[in-house]
Amino acid sequence: QISRGAKTNLSPEDIGDLLLDTIEGKKVAFKATAKAAYARVDKLSKGVKVSLVPLKDFAKKAMRTATIRKGIGSTQAGDTLLKKVLELDDLVTFKQAQSLRSALLDERSAMAITRDKAIGLSKQFIRLTDDAMESGGKSLLPIQAGKTNEAVNAWRIANKFYREGQEKFNKKIIKSLTKTLAENPEVAVRKIFRPQASRQIKVIKDLVDKSTWQQLKTANLEHIIRESADADGIVLGKTFLSKLNKLGDDTVKMIYNPQELASIRSIGKMGEILQKPTGGSGGMVIQLMQAGAAMNLLTGGIPQLTRESAAVLIAPPVLSRMIANPTFSKWLGAGFRMPSSSPAAAALVARILKAKVKIEREMKAEKQDIKGTQQQRPFGRHF
């Protein structure tokens, strides 16, 4: 439900920001979901309210005690909190009560940082708010035993969601938002694969399914390939390695396993060597096509093949998979080194073509797998 709502109402940039906020432990998504859950209770409960009278009675008693003590032992934060509670309405909606509980939790967190003595007050008000919402929920229970209604179900779902807590919710929302963001690879790469971001990458890697993670890894390498091309569309090995290393050693190792990383670096180094003047026109080159932003693997000079029939269109995501695969990477490397007149060149192109088809099928299956899981409810039954 959250991922579908985010996809409908938020831009990819906003989804990326919400994902990063959640990884950092911020409560934006959690608070919004809790508020929406209790708003549904209000809609179905037909006017049932939550009584804050117990909170206000406690605040009045605390104020009287403070007056008798002439302010000794009180703090400014505590006095301010008491006054705010006394200004609350006696009866509020479930949604308003949840907002109050959330605000009190923030007060408690702030007091914990400053070690304010009034933290005990905030804890007491949180407990009383919990009790008030519990009482309000119980008032929704049907008179006849064994029966239930939509309002009761909505309250139980909202209560269970809140009780399970932010940590469990965050894991679900991170997984869900990442799947949604993966549909926009350009934004996903910019938000997720940042320099020195190994911690947040690990969180995502540990939570998402294999298909989503593979899609994200491919998008990152594709982005580096695109950014490494010169004005003529030639992918420059030196630039490629520089942009890869800019992510930081820990980050790169978190994204790619040792075998993948060795393959990726070897292709970059090979390109670096081939950029040096050779006095000849060498073998195969990987070049960005101006039209369609696809990769064109040219095998010019092979007698057995015409230029048209030898051209292999390799989309950037497919090329990214090839570069990261130890076997396919070796074939590409051989293509860089092999003279275009070599009889073995035709067989090599055939192997690369076969690998291209295999990878395209795998990527298609992964997209179908991701689409299938997105159609399921991201939080099981409701939350």
Summarised one tens digit per residue, pLDDT across range 184-221 is: 888 888 889 999 889 999 999 998 888 889 889 888 98
What would the two tokens of residue 4 be? Answer: 């579908």
First to last CA, the chain: 9
Cβ neighbours, 10 Å, residue 1: 13
71 SS3 class: coil
pLDDT in the model for residue 141: 63
Cβ atoms of 93 and 104 closer than 8 Å: no
Which among 18, 38, 62 is positioned nearest to 158, based on CA atoms? 38
The ranges of the chain with pLDDT < 50 are: 143-147, 276-312, 377-383
Burial 289-314 (b: 16+ CB within 10 A, else e): eeeeeebbbbbebbeebeeeebebeb
Which among 359, 347, 267 is positioned nearest to 316, based on CA atoms? 359
pLDDT in the model for residue 114: 75
- How far is Cα 252 from Cα 166, in angstroms, rounded to an integer? 29
Cβ atoms of 268 and 241 closer than 8 Å: yes
- How far is Cα 242 from Cα 269, in angstroms, rounded to an integer? 11
DSSP characters over 275-290: TS--SS--S-EEEE-S
Tell me the per-residue pLDDT of 31-55, one tens digit each, with 9 for 90 and over.
888 888 888 888 888 778 899 999 9
The position carrying tokens 């035993």 is 145
Report the half-sphere exposure of 11 (CA within 13 A, side-chain side).
4
Q: What angle do CA 217, 1, 96 make, to 5 degrees?
A: 125
Q: Quick one: CA torsion of 3, 8, 12, 17, rounded to 10 degrees? A: -60
pLDDT in the model for residue 157: 82
pLDDT in the model for residue 205: 92
Burial of 218 (0-12, 13-18, 19+ CB in 10 A): buried
Amino acid at 271: G
